[in-house]
Amino acid sequence: MQLRGRSVRDYMKYGYRVLRGALFRRKTDGCGRLLRVCGAVTVSKSRRARLVLGSHVILHRDTGFYLDSEEAVVEIGDHTFLNRRSEVMCKRHVKIGSHCAISWDVTITDTDYHALEGSEKTRPVTIGDHVWIGSRATILKGVTIGAGAVVAAGAVVSKDVPPRALVAGVPARIVRENVSWSL
């Protein structure tokens, strides 16, 4: 049966994801409207650590949030989605903007979990609004990714990315500037 171009099954899946989102809210410290959770999501956090989600966020199955210190804060903006098996590891602060598309198997971390002599172990990560991160990309500590930027699949981002730049490679380098993208 079709309803407005969608099947009953599509509506049931949507409803199930919204229901899972409503139940998942208990694991957050702030959550906007209409969170959708599309399978098991791991949240490992210290008592005072904070996970804050905006409105219309979508978390696909096997996404993981690891807030590994009392002062850890992960913030995700409105209309952002994290795809399958992506992980956010945080000891201080990871901020992901609004309208971001984060593909599968992406790793975002603000810590090395160890330190070389003379270097900081933990530095915040900031991802601007409308950023697309391709599959299997890695975003390392201390990185700021500007609004509208695109991170290619498999890139390892260890330095800041300017707004509307396309970066690729290991380590990631600017391949193109003034890019725009849409879903």
- The conformational region for residue 170 under phi > 0 = left, psi -120 to 50 = alpha, else beta, is beta
Q: Give residue 4's pLDDT.
A: 63
Among the options 56, 60, 99, 114, which is catalytic? 114
In a domain, 6, yes or no: yes
- Domain housing 35: 2-176
CB 16 within 8 A of CB 24: no
CB 68 within 8 A of CB 90: yes
Asked about 114 being catalytic, the answer comes back as: yes
Parallel, antiparallel or unpaired: strands 166-168 and 173-176: antiparallel
Where residue 125 sits, what CATH number does that domain have?
A: 2.160.10.10
In a domain, 76, yes or no: yes
Q: Which residues of the chain have pLDDT under 70?
A: 1-5, 16
Q: Give residue 5's pLDDT.
A: 65
In a domain, 183, yes or no: no
Question: Hey, is 2 helix, strand or coil?
Answer: strand
The predicted model scores a pTM of 0.91
Q: Give residue 2's pLDDT.
A: 46
